[in-house]
Amino acid sequence: MWDYSEKVKDHFFNPKNAGAVSEANAIGEVGSISCGDALRLTLKVDEQSEVIEDAGFQTFGCGSAIASSSVLTEIIKGKTLEEALNVSNQDIAAELDGLPPEKMHCSVMGREALQAAVANYRGEEWKDDHEEGALICKCFAVDEPMIEEMVWANKLRTVEDVTNFTKAGGGCAACHEDIENILEKVLKERGESFDPTAVAETPAAAAPETPKAPLTNLQRIKKIEQVLEALRPQLMADGGDVELVEVDGNTVYVNMTGACSGCQMAAMTIAGIQQRLMEEMGEFLKVVPASEMEKLHTIGA
């Protein structure tokens, strides 16, 4: 079964604010019965202050859908509509101490129900703007429609391109066959054919968001160092530490020390560091223990 946090279990076994609020003046109904999740959120909003005085949920769905609904009602009660709209799906997941990647859509559904309820209160119509599909990359929770859209929009041709643009496939690599299948399908629709030996576009030139001037090498390394620096207190709390050793293209070599090095947790920690680095740097990066670098060099020599 899923590896749910204690918080998820607690909200599932003892849901808060279950049922419809009487005299609700804001109702949001979202979800998809074919996907097995659907949520009706009812709110009682004070018309003067726009404060959410009461919130209730009715959910058809799995454990994490019910937990996400429950925690959402707890988060938004007492907030104004504006404040409530700032609640992201990550906030919902974080309040539950995280959700498995396959279940992140439950938190998305919570946020959408909220948007729909606010729209309903304001007499607007709410339209969902994303399509959900089969989860392809379990490391970074990227689904099929997302990859397809990026392949279309950016004329991607290789698995590496897809990883650069969406992160999908940047972790354990088990989904590379699925990504190739998507490439094959979209390229065919575009009248091209997929070439598994094609070389990826250079990520710098192709990256979708290059808001600022490109960093110099030195600036880039310094920024990577800052990100790692920011992660250290957390690692040290677990009895470990991390140190930047070398940056070579897309590969960041680090030294893991203390409780983290060598243990099973190291691989997970490295994946976490990698994800954080990619988020902060806005580019695809691979984090590798420095010990691997030595190995590679000896092979090369």
Partner 1 sequence: MSDIYLDNNATTRVDPLVVKEMLPYFTEQFGNPSSIHKFADGVARGIKKARKQVQELIGAEHDSEIIFTSCGTESDSTAILSALKAQPNRKEIITTSVEHPAILSLCEYLEKDGYTIHRMPVDKAGRLNIEAYQSMLSDKVAIVSVMWANNETGTIFPVEQMAEMAHEAGIMFHTDAVQAVGKIPMMLKDTKIDMLSISGHKLHAPKGIGVLYLRRGARYRPLLRGGHQERGRRAGTENTASIVGLGKACELAMEHIEFENTQVKAMRDRLERGIIEQVPHSFATGDLNKRLPNTTDIAFEYIEGEAILMLLNKAGIAASSGSACTSGSLEPSHVMRAMDIPYTAAHGTIRFSLSRYNTMQEIDEVIKVVPGIVENLRKLSPYWDGDKPVADPEQAFQPTYA
Residues serving a catalytic function are 35, 106
Site residues for partner 1, 114-143, by CB under 8 A, read: 116, 126-128, 132-135
CA dihedral of 143, 147, 150, 153, whole degrees rounded to 10: -110
Asked whether position 200 contacts partner 1 by CB under 8 A, the answer is: no
Answer for which of 26, 31, 92, 170 binds partner 1 (CB under 8 A) is 31
Judged by DSSP in three states, 165 sits in helix
Q: Strand 142-143 vs strand 135-137: parallel, antiparallel, or unpaired?
A: antiparallel
Answer for which of 21, 24, 39, 52 binds partner 1 (CB under 8 A) is 39
Asked whether position 57 contacts partner 1 by CB under 8 A, the answer is: yes
- Residue 132 or residue 225: which is nearer to partner 1 going by CB? 132
Exposed/middle/buried for residue 13 (C-beta within 10 Å: 0-12, 13-18, 19+) = exposed
Q: Strand 251-258 vs strand 286-289: parallel, antiparallel, or unpaired?
A: parallel
CB of 3 to partner 1, least distance (A): 12
Q: Where are the alpha helices (DSSP H) in the chain?
A: 6-13, 63-76, 81-85, 89-95, 104-121, 144-154, 159-166, 176-189, 203-206, 217-237, 265-281, 290-300
Asked whether position 270 contacts partner 1 by CB under 8 A, the answer is: no
CB of 147 to partner 1, least distance (A): 15
Answer for which of 40, 77, 111, 167 binds partner 1 (CB under 8 A) is 40
Binding stretches for partner 1 (CB under 8 A)? 1, 9, 12-13, 15, 18-19, 29-40, 57-66, 102-103, 112, 116, 126-128, 132-135
